[in-house]
Amino acid sequence: MPYLKGYSLYVHYTRGEAVNVPCLVRALFDASFWLGNPLSAYGRHVLKMVAPKVAMTFIDNNPRFYMLSDEHPGLTTVFVQNGMRGGGADVFVGLTRSENYRVDHMLVFNRAIAAKYSEYIAGETLIAGSLKNNHCNGSALVSWEPESVLFVSQYRRKSAPVMYTDHLGRPVHWDDFYALDRVVVQWLGAWCLEHGRKLLVCGCAMNDEQRGEESWYESILGRVECSWEYLAKKSVYDSYQAIERADIVVEIDSTLGYEAFARGKKTAFLTGRGYMVNDRDLVFAWPAALPDFGPFWSNKPDKSEFLRIMDYLDNVSDKEWAQLHEQYRDDVMVFDPGNTILTQLLHKLMPKHTEVIEN
């Protein structure tokens, strides 16, 4: 991560990629290790041995991190939001308010999610947008295609019939979760054919999964006969280049779609997945208190709504769109090119060569 260059950095691996053996040995003599909390005991001894000034994580939905400030006085904690929140399997579903929850600095996407986190966690919220989106200057790498429309894929291989179980214990099936994607892509292909537009599909699969993703879209668009292209994702920043390439971006509920809006791209939010899986938290810009319908969004999976939004984005002037973007950006996603907010915070908290933990 370039923003941590110049600091003395210790990386604490929480998924077992590497183990600090001396800390693990010490944790073995900690009673909590044998009472069902081995990871907490190990992490506690890592903090004791490293004795950092700042602990930083990009896993903003980890309640364990919220307790570090209480358990380690003098330690400054920072989290950076890494994805959209909301829905029956997200952090807020099972999160309860606790006097022990504190994160000194929470860098989040927008003011609505800042207020939501503040309901549960003490500390300062900084509305900073998406770190990856802020870092990538995709516009410098690709040419804009004024007659193209980009669909943001969220495809995942069907490894089992049930994708996840929601907070009410109900199974969410793969076919139900992706039913809206299939319908929207069919509508979009027909719309592009009628309007002489090229459809770009922004792939999200990597490596061996890409062929399966491309084949899935071939099965959907095969009868539409529109001009379309699958954009394979070869690196983490390819998606941002794809955003800059298109005139209009269409999405359902991906983080990338919100990042496109943050960049000022004309973006259609067809956020009707909540109706398909019976989850009212899967709505546009959750948890912002916005209506189900707006100039460029609809929480109802309805073809007439799709056509209304697409025709609006096809005809809206750049001036009117800029005004809409300014009106809604604080509730959707802000844009901080170069991550100046994060950089200024790090300079404020630490001189160079100070210990940092990245969890």
pLDDT at 228 over 90: yes
Domains of the chain: residue spans and CATH: 2-128+339-358 (no CATH), 136-332 (3.40.50.2000)
* pLDDT computed for residue 359 by the predictor: 56
Task: Render pLDDT for 237-270 as a digit per residue (tens, 0 to 9).
Answer: 899 999 999 999 999 999 999 999 999 999 999 9
Contact 53, 354 (CB under 8 A): yes
pTM reported for the whole predicted model: 0.90
* pLDDT computed for residue 48 by the predictor: 83
Q: Which of 283, 287, 244 is nearest to 264 (CA)?
A: 244
* pLDDT computed for residue 257 by the predictor: 97
**Which pair of tokens denotes residue 230?**
């699958």
Find where tokens 């892509």 sit. 185
* pLDDT computed for residue 88 by the predictor: 63
Q: Which helix (H) or strand (E) holds 355?
A: none
Contact 100, 67 (CB under 8 A): yes
Contact 133, 352 (CB under 8 A): no
Least confident of 92-96, 207-211, 298-302, 316-320: 92-96
Edge-to-edge order in the sheet of strand 54-57: 9-11, 356-358, 54-57, 76-80, 102-108, 122-127
- Residue 108 and residue 344: Cα distance in Å, rounded? 15
Task: Render pLDDT for 301-338 as a digit per residue (tens, 0 to 9).
Answer: 999 999 999 999 999 999 999 999 999 999 999 999 99
Task: Render pLDDT for 101-141 as a digit per residue (tens, 0 to 9).
Answer: 999 999 999 999 999 999 999 999 999 999 999 998 765 55
